Chain A
């Protein structure tokens, strides 16, 4: 049975050597991690189909994870730390390259993976800095690198839990293969050069059916639409026999050459035949040997696999691949010293796969261009008109009132020119929704102006049910109105107060335009006034002329202040009466806060001043706007926004299983 003694043993490739276990058990996630220079951060993002397998094949999780976690032997622990350290410094230097195979550049899937990668690096950095104080502990370093908490006995299970709750991305993004998998290989296979080179290290001893195979770390993601990789035959070995390049399902045993077992597919170098599920191949291509570059790709849209040799397309020997199975790049060899180096996209490919993918994209775009489905939900069947109304609705919906107006005018001009003798229908872009948009804009504008009464009046008139059905919004509006009244009083107060002491005209003129002053300005003002006083410049004589007017004005203002204060207090009582018995906590709190405002003689200098800010109107306006939209049975987004949303969602639906959507990047291809 496979039991790992220490990390170092695994790293050196000796673990389990000589074992006859047909399916090499997956050893710890850590060993993989520590060795994967190229794509470590993506590991935990993706539910590995092989985790299930590792449970099947390996009954020793308990003991294994023991060795990895708390009670693990010290040497193993320390060697891991060494690797972690190495890894993190690499990470900081930007060395473990996240790479995008050339043919996938600009694809939506590549974007998603890159986003996930960046999020992981960011999270990793953050965690590292958070935990740097106790970086010596295994738990910290392991979680900071891979979010794997130690001490979980069943790794398969742990994965499930951890991978379901990644903090930074919503759903796992399937990474592409980056290297040969140290733990998914025949025992005597050696992996070198950052996982790129696979070498048969064992002695050829067993029966002629025996061989050594290895799989890549991740399956070929269907979301790529086309996945392609190449291997170079570095050395064919002495009496080189049988090198197989292809792909296989996760559970295919690795003690035979790919192509012979069910679920494996390969092109063999010794005879140029293609094999799947059987030892008798079919005539396919030329033989290949040392220094030949063999490419293998799957087109998930057509579910076919194809091969290339030295940059030349050979053919597609495998069709009708299962659409719901994950295939891993896989190679196999038979003789000592045979070695293959893989290019999973880290380097340019020998074959011009980019053109194949571009061609595929072009095919899909052609298909789209010809797809002029009828707009069904619309009176018009004409694409041009439909788009025109989409634009018109967006402009009105999002509150570009002037633009909407200009658009309607220009569209009408256009329609009139077209209509013979001006007799034909002149098409307007206005809709009921547009009336709503204008009403909503009025209501919104009223709230933003602080005119809550107007907003309440309009809302009640146009959307009587909204305030009934959304009592909390009604309450917020009432509170806001109270706040606006307090604002008014405090403004009037600020205007009236300075007049108690006569002031120079320059200041007075300032005082009369005080409407929107904030507390800072008032402070300054008062300060200057005091200054003036001290300097004795408050002598009224030179400015006596307009004093009378000012006296009247002042009187009026004082009167107004008095009235406003009375009204405010009355309104406050009313408000209190209406909501005092409301059991909801947020209502009570809001009432308390609001009423506390009255307690201050100069609210603007109190700690509650922020409540008076005009910016507090915005959320109320937004909330009411949304409520109105909902009451109209409408989503809060314009049809054009939904068009974008639906297109992205549908295309991604068509991409998940490698369908035609994989070849479209809505944002890049259609929006920009």
Chain B
């Protein structure tokens, strides 16, 4: 990104950048934005919020009658908690084809389950690691045999057995224990379920957001006259639980 091509004049509050005027001239339609929000709530799986939103924003209710939403929330919840067995059963209850058609996703779930097993059996120094090894050889090894990248993932996961418990894992291994991995897999499962019902896999707002990032980068590359920065005006909004102040109290009673 070449910021040198950006116009020299720094926009001051009194002197507006011409591009800002172009932005202000665009009047997004409220229904469009409400739809975008509803789409996000449904596809991400916030059923209670979606119901309230339908009421408050007057969004057509047929949008919230998405069948899989409750199941998707439960499955996400199970994966986030590390209860992969339950999650797999629930996915199969919903549609056994989902995992059949997505071997990579199935493998990712099983590996997550293996990680949980390893985590459990290494948390106590004297405990038995055989359940983990058995699970790996019965469930993951057959799948890994046919796929190079599965095999690599399996090998990496198994090395956890050697190093755990440890506070000083190499980054590659530490990644495996982070909640983000569960979050990623849960998101992929969610997408797969949605796709299986013929819906869009991912909420539209993600594409919109990426298009926003992409177009700014490309416009700056092309030397378009843009302000030095284009803030969305979203302040840092993630306050940690222990430090939260009045705001949390007001909103979350």
Whether B209 pairs with A383 at a CB distance below 8 angstroms is: yes
B182, B204, B207, B238: the one contacting A369 at CB < 8 Å is: B207
Cβ of B10 within 8 Å of any chain A Cβ, yes or no, is: no
Whether A640 pairs with B36 at a CB distance below 8 angstroms is: yes
**Minimum distance in angstroms from A626 CB to a CB of chain B:** 14
The CA-CA distance from A639 to B22 in the complex, in Å, is: 17
Q: Please name all residues of chain B whose beta carbon is closer than 8 Å to the beta carbon of A425 when the two chains form the complex.
A: 240-242
Q: Max chain A CB contacts within 10 Å: which of B33, B41, B76, B247?
A: B247
**Number of contacts between A and B (CB, 8 Å)?**
251
**Chain B 77-97 interface mask (CB, 8 Å, partner A; 1/0):** 100111000000000000000
Given contacts A380-B238, A405-B251, A671-B36, contact A645 B222 (CB under 8 A): no
Q: Please name all residues of chain B whose beta carbon is closer than 8 Å to the beta carbon of A647 when the two chains form the complex.
A: 208, 211-212, 215
Cβ of A18 within 8 Å of any chain B Cβ, yes or no, is: no
Whether B213 pairs with A431 at a CB distance below 8 angstroms is: no
Whether A671 pairs with B35 at a CB distance below 8 angstroms is: yes
Q: Looking across the interface, which residue of chain B has its beta carbon closest to that of A660?
A: B218
Cβ of B236 within 8 Å of any chain A Cβ, yes or no, is: yes
Interface residues of B in 1-60 (CB under 8 A from A): 19, 22-26, 28, 32-33, 35-37, 40-41, 46-49, 51-53, 55-57
**Chain B 201-240 interface mask (CB, 8 Å, partner A; 1/0):** 0011111111111111111001010100111111111111
Given contacts A368-B210, A369-B210, contact A431 B28 (CB under 8 A): no
Whether B80 pairs with A417 at a CB distance below 8 angstroms is: yes
Q: Please name all residues of chain B whose beta carbon is closer than 8 Å to the beta carbon of A174 when the two chains form the complex.
A: none
Whether B241 pairs with A644 at a CB distance below 8 angstroms is: no
Cβ of B246 within 8 Å of any chain A Cβ, yes or no, is: yes
- The A contact surface, by secondary structure, is helix
Q: Please name all residues of chain A whose beta carbon is closer than 8 Å to the beta carbon of B26 when the two chains form the complex.
A: 644-645, 648-649
Q: Please name all residues of chain A whose beta carbon is closer than 8 Å to the beta carbon of B213 when the two chains form the complex.
A: 371-373
Cβ of B161 within 8 Å of any chain A Cβ, yes or no, is: no
Whether B248 pairs with A371 at a CB distance below 8 angstroms is: no
**Minimum distance in angstroms from A571 CB to a CB of chain B:** 33
The CA-CA distance from A86 to B210 in the complex, in Å, is: 51
Whether A426 pairs with B241 at a CB distance below 8 angstroms is: yes
Q: Please name all residues of chain A whose beta carbon is closer than 8 Å to the beta carbon of B48 when the two chains form the complex.
A: 406, 409-410
Given contacts A643-B208, A653-B219, contact A427 B240 (CB under 8 A): yes
Whether B224 pairs with A653 at a CB distance below 8 angstroms is: yes
A406, A424, A428, A634: the one contacting B179 at CB < 8 Å is: A424
Whether A418 pairs with B32 at a CB distance below 8 angstroms is: no
Given contacts A417-B81, A428-B238, contact A670 B208 (CB under 8 A): yes
Contact size range, A = 35 or more
B210, B217, B237: the one contacting A433 at CB < 8 Å is: B237
**Minimum distance in angstroms from A34 CB to a CB of chain B:** 35
Q: Max chain A CB contacts within 10 Å: which of B22, B211, B217, B224?
A: B211
Cβ of A642 within 8 Å of any chain B Cβ, yes or no, is: yes
Cβ of B187 within 8 Å of any chain A Cβ, yes or no, is: yes
Q: Max chain B CB contacts within 10 Å: which of A368, A412, A669?
A: A368
Cβ of A457 within 8 Å of any chain B Cβ, yes or no, is: no
Given contacts A400-B56, A643-B209, contact A368 B22 (CB under 8 A): no
Cβ of A443 within 8 Å of any chain B Cβ, yes or no, is: no
The CA-CA distance from A380 to B247 in the complex, in Å, is: 19
**Minimum distance in angstroms from B204 CB to a CB of chain A:** 6
Whether A368 pairs with B52 at a CB distance below 8 angstroms is: no
Cβ of B145 within 8 Å of any chain A Cβ, yes or no, is: no
The CA-CA distance from A384 to B183 in the complex, in Å, is: 10
Given contacts A644-B208, A659-B218, contact A418 B179 (CB under 8 A): yes
Cβ of B62 within 8 Å of any chain A Cβ, yes or no, is: no
Q: Please name all residues of chain B whose beta carbon is closer than 8 Å to the beta carbon of A419 when the two chains form the complex.
A: 179
Nearest 8 pairs of A and B residues by beta carbon: A373-B213, A430-B247, A426-B241, A650-B215, A371-B214, A417-B80, A431-B237, A639-B234
Can you list 20 contacts pairing A with B, beta carbon distance less than 8 Å? A372-B213, A373-B213, A379-B237, A389-B238, A390-B205, A394-B33, A425-B240, A428-B241, A428-B244, A431-B239, A433-B235, A639-B234, A642-B23, A645-B26, A646-B232, A649-B19, A649-B26, A653-B215, A657-B222, A661-B218
Known: A420-B179, A634-B233. 15 other contacts (CB 8 A): A365-B207, A373-B213, A380-B236, A380-B238, A384-B187, A386-B234, A387-B209, A407-B46, A428-B241, A430-B248, A642-B232, A645-B28, A647-B212, A651-B211, A672-B204
Q: Which residues of A contact B (CB under 8 A)?
A: 170, 365, 367-369, 371-373, 376-380, 383-387, 389-396, 400-414, 417-420, 424-435, 438, 634-635, 639-654, 657, 659-661, 664, 666-667, 669-672
Q: Which residues of B contact A (CB under 8 A)?
A: 19, 22-26, 28, 32-33, 35-37, 40-41, 46-49, 51-53, 55-57, 76-77, 80-82, 179, 182-183, 187, 203-219, 222, 224, 226, 229-242, 244, 246-248, 250-253
